[in-house]
Amino acid sequence: MPIVPGLRSPYVTVAGFVYFPRMVDKIRLHAAGKLHPDFINNLGKAFDDRCCQYLGVVYPALADWVRANPQATDEQVWAWAQQHGRVVSQNDIEIWNGFMTKRGWRDESNEVLQRRLKENGLTPEAGVDTIFDYIEVDEGRPARRQSL
């Protein structure tokens, strides 16, 4: 994927919850006409969909609210999601973060990760063990293992 200015790492959190700020960035960038076309077909799908399902919100409603409130902070978008979905506990956040940050490592999505690594000529030295790590490297940031 191309490097998109303003699109944060999936490891960035709001209220300690990974990926949510990245999803909000994609909504904002798309609304501003700054989201690379490679990302547009997956808006509201894949990790976006999984995130919304976990929070109990409907992606189109979240996206509509974000577009209608362009000055809203991540915390305000998070508050909207908590109000219109389910309130997640610290335990829920820990479960989500553990699941998402390990996606691609010894699970059914490992096949996708291995295919992407091969397509991009990435070797084990790249430090990519998960989908989040792949996103990091693909967007020019070091893999998490490499940056610890």
What is the residue extent of each domain of the chain? 1-101, 103-148
pLDDT at 143: 83
Residue 148 has pLDDT above 60, yes or no: no
Residue 116 has pLDDT above 90, yes or no: yes
Residue 121 has pLDDT above 80, yes or no: yes
Q: What is the pTM of this model?
A: 0.93
Nearby residues of 143 by Cβ (< 8 Å), 6 or more positions away? 126, 127, 128, 129, 133, 136, 137
pLDDT at 125: 83
On whether the CB atoms of residues 106 and 88 are closer than 8 A, the answer is: no
Phi and psi of 14, rounded to 5°? -130, 130
Q: What is the mean pLDDT of the chain?
A: 94
Which comes out higher in pLDDT, residue 41 or 3? 41
Distances (CA, A) of 56 to 9, 16, 37, 43, 135: 23, 17, 27, 17, 25
pLDDT digits (tens, 9 = 90+) for 61-115: 999 999 999 999 999 999 999 999 999 999 999 999 999 999 999 999 999 999 9
Cβ-in-10-Å burial (0-12, 13-18, 19+) of 124 comes to exposed
pLDDT at 147: 46
pLDDT at 1: 66
For Cα atoms 118, 123, 127, give the angle at the middle one, nearest 5 degrees: 120
